[in-house]
Structure 1
Amino acid sequence: MMARWRMANSSAGAVLRAVLDLGSAPRSVVARHAGVSPATVTWQSRALVEAGLLVELPESPGPGGVGRPHSPIALDAAGNVVIAVHIAAVQITVAVVDIAGSVLHREQVPHRTHAPYDILDAVVDRVRAVGANLADQVRIRGLGVAIGGRVDAATGSVVEHSYLRWRDVPVREYLSARTGLPVSVDSHTRATVHAEQLYGRLRGSASSIVLFVGNVIDAAIAVHGRVNCGPHFGAGSIARLLGTTNRFALEALGDHALLARAETVGRFDGFPAVVAAAAAGGPQREYFIERARVMGEVAAALIDLIDPEALVLIDRGLITVPGVREAYDEAVRAHSTIGADPGEVIFASTFPGQVLVMAAAGVVLQELFSDPLSTVVAQAV
């Protein structure tokens, strides 16, 4: 069985992705959408059904009741999930996401310390608990971990995380040994590209950028649909680019810096309280607008660099704080030399309130949809 699955794998991802895009559909429609022959869809769909990723639906008549009946195929979303873990500056988020991209469960646990193995032990505890609560017939296809900083996705290690002060932490090895699950690890920004490509704004985009503005500020770039990582795992690092503004250092732009600034004049119970005060028109609003003006210049430079079809901008003030979107747009218009119209290029995330959960899920789901049968084999080993 494993050998046949491996032989079938060259276009299995195209078939599975087509079914994701289409919903339930007959094999002939899937073939046209995936750009493969009907015979290939028949072969691949059989393997994907055997692997538990697709289901065959009851026969239905042809269009208008004319022609041979067909049996549509669909994702078995109810039977297949991934566990998603995002490691942020102050907390971990653990979630269950099905292969259709629906978030079924989500919980957060604050860090007790920033020590890497304290945090990873907390991840292990919650992953075990979440997995134990899933129904017996639900298959866990993997554990995806997203984190800021420089990440070696090939080895599953965090090379460097400046805020948490992690260096060379073998996240995949540690979590896999303690959960028994196949573990995939990547930077949250690259992972967000994958999630947006599968389920959101970047579906079908050949060239794209995700610009993440949070406690960690970085970017991810995809060309021809492939996310660039680089030999030093640092593609998307924009600290030097930020330094050219001569107004703010990188550390003055992060969420933690805005929180510290707000707390010089008042007491706030975490960064969400600062966002809420700014959204209500408080003086904190200007912090977000100042940041947007600087990051808008960075967005303009990135847009000029690759002329993308879309730039997904993640900034917690973008939608909620009045004037922030306008500040970004004005900066891009002023500084983009190719004359990019921000209204046509810059978009908010498809996943408001769920960005980091979907990023973590995207780490493993992009592997599943790229090479589904090998992923199944790898899990079975």
Structure 2
Amino acid sequence: MVDSSAGAILRTVLESGPVPRSVIATRAGLSPATVTWQTRALVEAGLLTELPETTRSRGIGRPYSPLALDERNVVLAVHIAATRTTVAVVDITGELRSTVKVPHRTNAPYDILDDAAAEIARVRAETTGRVLGLGVAIGGRVDRDSGTVLDHSYLRWHDVPVRRYLAARTGLATELDSHTRALMHAEQLYGRLRGTKSSVVLFVGNVVDTAFAVQGQVHYGPNSAAGSITRMLGIGVARAREDGESATVERYSDHGLLRRASECLPASEIHAAETVPDLIESARRPGPARDLFLERAAAMGRVAATLIDLLDPESVVIVDRGYGRVDGVEAAYLRTVGEFCVLCPDPAGVVGCSSFTGRVLEMAGAAVALHGVFRTPLSVLERKAV
């Protein structure tokens, strides 16, 4: 209870700061006495800083000292994707300080983790401020409690103890989570899901999955599998394929789109569509590349409609690299949700894109560590702060 009230104070300062103690007490629903001694503890711990004394507007009222987050606190953020690892520095306010991409030399788990550890060490040595911990996000089925990647179909990882391995090699307090659940936490802290009680994040990348929150709590499930929709059927695929891919959402993953682009693009364009950014560039003009993104938006829009009818969320975040970058993709999502969803007469009022365009991967990794900081800050500091 003590640390939960400290977390409530820290989140209130994040959302409203710089702010006086009296406002914190009102907005966090805590007694003035609790706010007084908990803010003292948070200032002494270096998470909050007291700004110079000021007065209210027009000089009326007693002077007060506003409290703000101490921006010298940072976390190291790691996102392990299909072909590369991102290592970033994000401060406690959600500001991205730096980021670097490390290509995978193989898909072997310990090759990737060793390369990540080496880059973490380099970035850490160049980082000013206090490192509160290391957050690692990855696709697939992740057991957050044990810090293990149970299954990653694209990388073919099974039962890889990522948290233990990286903690031993970096010396940092390390946390691991699914990238989509991590993005849910990021949106709750810094993005469009702040203050919402029920929400869905639909991630459409090399891994296609979802996360959902009820009463503000992200659901994990007893098998750490909540949100796994890879085998979802019935999304209007026109023809079957021998490998069964067309009957699943895998057809609409990033690597699925690239594979299909190699089959349908003119020979003159295939060499210029070897990556998703290349394909997005080709989709800036009408043609087969744009059609692939529009087809994906229509299919994933039906998935979103199903999730909305099933969970009845206040808000849905779509993470799709074509959303907002390829003409017609946003409209295709909204149109499809409106057509197939019973509970969503105004799709534009419920469905939107990520708050972190251009830094989705960095914020996913950061939120794995920062979620704990804002939930139980004093306990996190007891574990490790350097």
Per the shorter chain, which TM-score range? over 0.9
Q: Does 1:189 align with 2:183?
A: no
Q: What does residue 3 of structure 1 align with?
A: none
Q: Does 1:307 align with 2:312?
A: yes
Q: 2:291 pairs with 272, 277, 286, which one? A: 286
Q: Does 1:95 align with 2:112?
A: no
* Post-superposition offset of 1:243: 4.8
Q: What does residue 326 of structure 2 align with?
A: 321
Q: Does 1:120 align with 2:113?
A: yes
Q: 3-state SS of the aligned residue for 2:296?
A: helix
* Post-superposition offset of 1:246: 4.3
Q: What is the CA RMSD across the aligned residues, in angstroms?
A: 1.4
Cα separation, 2, equivalents of 1:225 and 1:216: 24
Cα separation, 2, equivalents of 1:313 and 1:299: 9
* Post-superposition offset of 1:141: 0.6
Q: Does 1:74 align with 2:68?
A: yes
The 5-angstrom pairing of residues 173-212 of structure 1 reads 173-212=164-203
Q: What does residue 51 of structure 1 align with?
A: 45
Q: Does 1:107 align with 2:113?
A: no
Q: What does residue 356 of structure 1 align with?
A: 361
Q: 1:131 pairs with 124, 129, 150, which one? A: 124
* Post-superposition offset of 1:8: 3.6
Question: Are 2:283 and 2:290, in contact at CA under 8 Å, matched by a contact in 1?
Answer: yes
Give per-residue Cα distances to partners, 1:214-234, cap 9 Å, x unaligned.
110000000000000001111
Q: 3-state SS of the aligned residue for 1:61?
A: coil
Give per-residue Cα distances to partners, 1:81-103, cap 9 Å, x unaligned.
00000000010001000000000
* Post-superposition offset of 1:66: 2.1
* Post-superposition offset of 1:322: 1.0
Q: 3-state SS of the aligned residue for 1:155?
A: coil
Question: Are 2:258 and 2:274, in contact at CA under 8 Å, matched by a contact in 1?
Answer: no
* Post-superposition offset of 1:251: 2.4
Question: Are 2:236 and 2:299, in contact at CA under 8 Å, matched by a contact in 1?
Answer: yes
Q: 3-state SS of the aligned residue for 2:288?
A: coil
Q: 1:41 pairs with 23, 35, 45, which one? A: 35
Q: What does residue 4 of structure 1 align with?
A: none
Question: Are 2:83 and 2:103, in contact at CA under 8 Å, matched by a contact in 1?
Answer: yes
Q: What does residue 241 of structure 2 align with?
A: none
Q: 1:374 pairs with 367, 372, 379, which one? A: 379
Q: 3-state SS of the aligned residue for 2:232?
A: helix
TM-score scaled by structure 2?
A: 0.94
Q: Does 1:258 align with 2:257?
A: yes
Q: Does 1:144 align with 2:138?
A: no
* Post-superposition offset of 1:191: 0.3
Q: 2:54 pairs with 57, 60, 63, which one? A: 60
Q: 3-state SS of the aligned residue for 1:279?
A: coil
Question: Are 1:8 and 1:47, in contact at CA under 8 Å, matched by a contact in 2?
Answer: no
How many residues were matched structurally?
372
* Post-superposition offset of 1:33: 1.3
Identity among equivalent positions (%) equals 56
Q: Does 1:238 align with 2:229?
A: yes
Q: 1:165 pairs with 134, 149, 156, which one? A: 156
Which segments of 5 or more consecutive residues in structure 2 lack a partner in the other structure?
239-245
Give per-residue Cα distances to partners, 1:320-342, cap 9 Å, x unaligned.
11111111112111111224421
* Post-superposition offset of 1:41: 1.0
Cα separation, 2, equivalents of 1:338 and 1:68: 50
TM-score scaled by structure 1?
A: 0.95
Cα separation, 2, equivalents of 1:242 and 1:43: 54
Q: 3-state SS of the aligned residue for 2:283?
A: helix
Q: 1:334 pairs with 331, 335, 339, which one? A: 339
Give per-residue Cα distances to partners, 1:275-322, cap 9 Å, x unaligned.
111123342000011111111110000000111110000111111111
